[in-house]
Chains A and B, each alone.
Chain A
Amino acid sequence: MSEYEMVVGLEVHVQLKTRTKAFCNSPTTFGAEPNVNTCPICLALPGALPVLNAHAVELAVRAAVALGCTVHGTSIFARKNYFYPDLPKGYQISQYDRPLATGGRLVGVGITRVHMEEDAGKSIHDRYTGATAIDLNRAGVPLIEIVSEPDIRSAHEARRYLQTLKQVLEYVDVSDVDMEKGSLRVDANVSARRTGETKFGTKTEVKNMNTFSGVEKALEAEFARQVAVLETGGRVVQQTMLWDGAKGEVRPARSKEESHDYRYFPEPDLPPLVLTDAYVDRIRRALPELPDARRARFREQYGLGDQEIDELVADIPLAAYFEETAKASGNAKTAANWMRGELLAALRAGGGDVQTFPVRPKALAELLGLVGEGAVSHTAARTIFEKMIATGEGAGRIADREGLRKVSDDAALEQWIGEVRTENPTEWARFQAGETKLQKVLVGLVMKKSKGKADPQRVNQLLAGGV
């Protein structure tokens, strides 16, 4: 199969998180009773007219800028005409040859265009026998459609593109990008060609992928199907394929026998959308630091490696927590290690999120400070951390109260060493005789005896020095 390569372009529809719909004041709330979020405009009553939501424009521009696109000063809305019961006007207001933005890039994949359009309602086929139930609450919700170039060459790359896309859109807060709730939807165009060939093969459209892993599997399945066709000398037929997650296979969509002649023409009810340079610049300047820029900065500023960065930049609150801790403790590396280790483990165990985690950055910094200056051992620190989570008390206080501070006092150390010697005469004798490897074991025993309080460095020195 490596003599063939997969060629994939992704079309992603994203619901913008506005309070009201694209062209009317009906609310966009999810899960409302059927058809209550409708009005004459989104019901397409005779005589109704669309008026565009300013905030939808703002969010769409924000997304386009975050994806590196050129936002066009003038863009035109167009009617995409087709009949479907959940499309009240019999056309969708979208954008066709003059879209909002073009020419972006994300993790090495080109973005052809970002355009604005409205969502359709929902058709529910299995609620009543012999009938389809139509709920138009979703009709008119503002969407952006993000179309990638056919630059993707593997299912894994597709997943990475989607994950990064989701992350970026979350960062700039334009959408909930929740595939389960339908605020992020993915369709794929897939073709196969001999590796090294530059011409594109016939593509099929793959729909109904409801998770990122579903996308990966669907792409692989469709690629395999196309390769099988090509290998037997057949030709790939242009058609729509549906992913069946339950069966793990793609199958052709049952006839949409009408030819998709959408008869696009400029929407006469909406004059051109004109955006000034000042408007776009304002949005660009107000963007939060995007994942890529943050990655680069963490590398530079904190000297972190890729693995560490990936885990910490994963979500905005975690990255913010890290930065606060790093600044407060003055040691980014230890902060990173502690967060990737103990903190994430605690979060997973407790099931909460970092914003409501009981230990706040400054408190963690205090603990890390104690570790850094050698006042507590690593083992003790873990114990202190657990107690900090449970009681909310400061690290220093807990260390003092529980007597967890490291003991470097030679007298106390020698006392414990003495006890270990008495309790482990054989090992001691062998160590004395020259088996230096046993030093580690003996240090471990001293640590146990001291309940972690002994200063392991000093214990090593004393043992090596021949106590």
Chain B
Amino acid sequence: MKADFARAAGLNIILAQDPEARPSVDHGPLHDIPVAIKDNIATLSMPTSCGSRILEGYVSPYEATVVSRLRAAGAVIACKTNMDEFAMGSSTEHSAFGPARNPVDPTRVPGGSSGGSAAAVAAGVVPIALGSETGGSVRQPAAFCGVVGVKPTYGRVSRFGLVAFASSLDQVGVFGRTVDDSALAMQIIAGRDPMDATSADIPVPEYRTAAARPVSTLTIGRPLEYFPDALDPAIRARCDDVLAKLRDAGATIRDVSLPHSGLAIPVYYIIAPAEASSNLARFDGVRYGLRVTGDGLTAMYEATRSKGFGAEVTRRILLGTYVLSAGYYDAYYKKAQQVRSLITQDFHNVFNSGVDVLFTPTTPTPAFKIGAVSDPYEMYLNDIFTCTANLAGNPAISVPIGTVNGLPIGGQLIAPHFDEQAMFAAAYAVERL
């Protein structure tokens, strides 16, 4: 099978492509399948720019573990996809290389930060793509583009070679046209990696067998905080319709509460920028990437970083530096981590009460017009339903559940830690409806 780059025309979703790429092995579960890789994942062929001027043209001299595993399964690394710079964004408008466009409606964003990868699958360029998640950056674009997007449990998939944004939140995620394709891809990249000390030493089950689990064995929670009064009625209607059909198919539906959900955005927007401000300190023009000379070393650092980073990245680095700085650490970063524990505990409590998975809308709106959202905080609210799973580490998936005004929307399923099987089982069931 070959990547169909023509389908990407006019969408600005591909930053680099390798039409000559061939499988590295003669067989394997992904033999000859072309895969798109988000441009913040290190590949040996093609640059890894992270959507940033500071790494424009940088070709990594080593490869991410997830890429090695795909190649070992026979996949072809076909292209690198556009993204919000350093994964900071929810629309792929913050790329240094121009915004990406949603294949369903090119006047609209594909979501972000993994917008290019979501769009590549939606447009039919490739059947499978890798993205990354920190606050919802796979699930949200999956919902906007009408494809499946999966975020594994934190520690399920190696981060070695994923350019770090927020280390305690980042995970590599997967896009597919179907739940089955996504489950297969996740199967291949998941598992302990000795190069990543946060990767879990837990065996990887056969995810695709989850398709066989009868929906009548599932107890599905509907958390009230994800269905606020202000939720778009059309989205609410679609979600409740899905739940009704699942009930008709035999599932048990239960109303539950995750009381600290409303604190997720403030918690996320303290922890993520804080860790990012530290992770991005290595971009200093000394050993790789852009260097802008100035009068002396400090001038070089400042000129390089100011020229190399875009406005959103700059804003988050400043925010992150501030909340870690002397006098503010306790009130901001430490407090946010404590509240994070409460959010994690909410999920534990619900899953310990007999609920197998949670079902929620993935996003509060469908894809918005390019340029429509300019207020940073308003943009952050795109992550309102997705970022809790990143904070708590739980696995989550977005499955297409129809359209609103002709635009795709996603339904999200969240499962307990390392219970991707329950998540996939419910996803297969939703897909079958």
Contacts and interface: CB of A to CB of B under 8 A. Distances in A.
Contacts of B163: 46-47
Contacts of A264: 329
A44 B197 CA distance: 16
B287 A263 contact: no
Interface string B48-64: 10100001001011101
Given A49-B197, A52-B197, A268-B168, A90 B287 contact: no
Contacts of A374: none
Contacts of A46: 40, 42, 48, 50, 55, 58, 60, 163-164, 282-283, 288
B175 interface: no
A374 B22 CA distance: 91
B333 A90 contact: no
Contact of A45 (B61, B278, B280): B61
Interface residues of A, number: 31
Contact of A263 (B41, B278, B284): B278
B326 interface: yes
Contact of A47 (B41, B301, B321, B326): B41
A268 B277 CA distance: 13
Contacts of B277: 81, 263
A40 interface: yes
Given A83-B281, A89-B281, A49 B196 contact: yes
B392 interface: no
A51 B197 contact: yes
Given A261-B325, A265-B329, A269-B198, A45 B288 contact: yes
Contacts of B197: 49-52, 269-271
B167 A268 contact: yes
Contact of B195 (A45, A51, A89, A134): A51
B285 to A, nearest CB: 10
A49 B333 CA distance: 22
Contacts of B282: 44, 46, 88-90
A95 to B, nearest CB: 15
B297 interface: yes
Interface in B195-249: 195-198
A261 B333 CA distance: 15
A263 B329 contact: yes
B284 A265 contact: no
B177 to A, nearest CB: 28
Contacts of A269: 164, 167, 197-198
B316 interface: no
Interface stretch (B104-112, B122-130, B154-162): B154-162
B373 interface: no
A46 B198 CA distance: 17
B194 interface: yes
Contacts of B50: 46
Contacts of B286: 85, 88, 134
Contacts of B41: 47
B80 to A, nearest CB: 13
Nearest to B322: A263
B183 interface: no
Contact of A81 (B40, B194, B278): B278
Contacts of A132: 297
Interface in B119-174: 159-164, 166-168
A79 interface: yes
A134 B58 CA distance: 21
A89 B288 CA distance: 12
B33 interface: no
A179 interface: no
B161 A83 contact: no
A270 B61 CA distance: 24
A48 interface: yes
Given A132-B297, A261-B325, A268-B275, A81 B281 contact: yes
B274 interface: yes
Nearest to A259: B326
Nearest to A40: B62
A302 interface: no
Given A51-B195, A132-B297, A265-B324, A91 B42 contact: no
Interface string A33-73: 00000001001111111111000000000000000000000
B112 to A, nearest CB: 19
Given A45-B61, A47-B42, A90 B324 contact: no
B329 A88 contact: no
B324 A47 contact: no
Contacts of B329: 263-265
B159 A79 contact: no
A265 B195 contact: no
Listed residue (B61, B159, B287, B325) with the most chain A CB atoms within 10 angstroms of its CB: B287
Contacts of B162: 47
Given A44-B287, A46-B42, A52-B197, A265 B281 contact: no
A47 B278 contact: no
Nearest to A77: B197
Contacts of B164: 46-47, 269
A263 B61 contact: no
A51 B198 CA distance: 9
Nearest to B199: A49
Contacts of A45: 42, 60-62, 287-288
A90 B60 contact: no
A307 B168 CA distance: 58
Contacts of B297: 85, 132
Nearest to B155: A271
A169 B58 CA distance: 44
Given A263-B329, A269-B197, A43 B60 contact: no
A61 B326 CA distance: 31
A465 B166 CA distance: 99
Nearest to B193: A49
Contacts of B55: 46
B165 to A, nearest CB: 11
A136 B287 CA distance: 10
B67 to A, nearest CB: 10
A46 B64 CA distance: 10
B60 A47 contact: yes
Nearest to B158: A49
Contacts of A88: 282, 286-287
A47 B160 contact: yes
Contacts of A47: 40-42, 48, 60, 64, 159-164
Given A46-B48, A261-B326, A269-B197, 14 more contacts: A45-B62, A45-B287, A46-B282, A47-B64, A48-B160, A49-B160, A51-B194, A81-B277, A81-B324, A85-B284, A85-B286, A90-B282, A263-B278, A263-B325
Closest 8 CB pairs of A and B: A90-B281, A268-B167, A263-B324, A268-B168, A46-B163, A47-B161, A44-B282, A47-B42
23 contacts: A43-B288, A45-B60, A46-B288, A47-B40, A47-B60, A48-B62, A49-B198, A51-B194, A81-B281, A81-B324, A89-B282, A134-B286, A136-B287, A259-B326, A261-B325, A263-B278, A263-B324, A265-B274, A265-B329, A268-B166, A268-B167, A271-B197, A271-B198
